[in-house]
Amino acid sequence: MLVVEHLHLTRYTMGLFPFFYDKHLWTKVLEEDGEIIVKQSPMDIIEQSCLYYGASLRGRKDGSKHIIGTSHKAPIAVEPTNEIFFFPTISPTNPQCIWLSHLHIRHHEHVQVGKTRITFSNGTSVELCISHHSFVNQLHRTAQLRTKMSERIEARERKMMYLLYLRERELS
């Protein structure tokens, strides 16, 4: 298994799973084509990825709150134009918090009280310590954020195309 110092989230990242190694909080990153161990906490990876794509984590949290009205366990639009949206399974301040990519959740099911099984886009399944109700709530919040941001991006692009069309007509 590959061990790295740092990693930025991409469209191919499916989940961030915390674990302790030698008294340090590291992350097992589940990618479409394998696993990577990162010598950073999941929160550090989320924060550094937001910065890599040009925004602060605080700004992304504020944006989520403004767009969908939630601040508790808010989903994060790490990079919306590439559909990199992650959501926490529990409070992000809890070291056991797992972060999941909305893009890669293909199936979810109730296993037992407080447990949910999810299947990712590559067929990998994991069982999480989160109630199915809470998981579905997080999934829906992220879908709402993703939809609203996509609509805004598309509206901006349509407006730009319209303005370019008017400009071309003006020049002809």
Read off the pLDDT of residues 92-150 as tens digits, 9 standing for 90 and up: 999 999 999 999 999 999 999 999 999 999 999 999 999 999 999 999 999 999 999 99
Measured distance CA(73)–CA(1) in Å, rounded: 30
SS (H, E, C) 4-59: ECCCCCCCCEEEEEEEEECCEEEEEEEECCEEEEECCCHHHHHHHHHHHCCCCHHH
Beta bridge partners of 20: 25
Query: Could you tell me the sign of the dihedral formed by the alpha carbons of 31, 35, 36, 40, in that order?
Result: positive
pLDDT at 158: 83
Supply the mean pLDDT for the chain: 94
Q: Classify residue 80 by its DSSP letter.
A: G
Q: How far apart are CA 112 and CA 130, in angstroms?
A: 10
Instruction: List the structure tokens of 92.
Output: 């992000």
CA distance 14 to 139: 14
Give the global pTM: 0.90
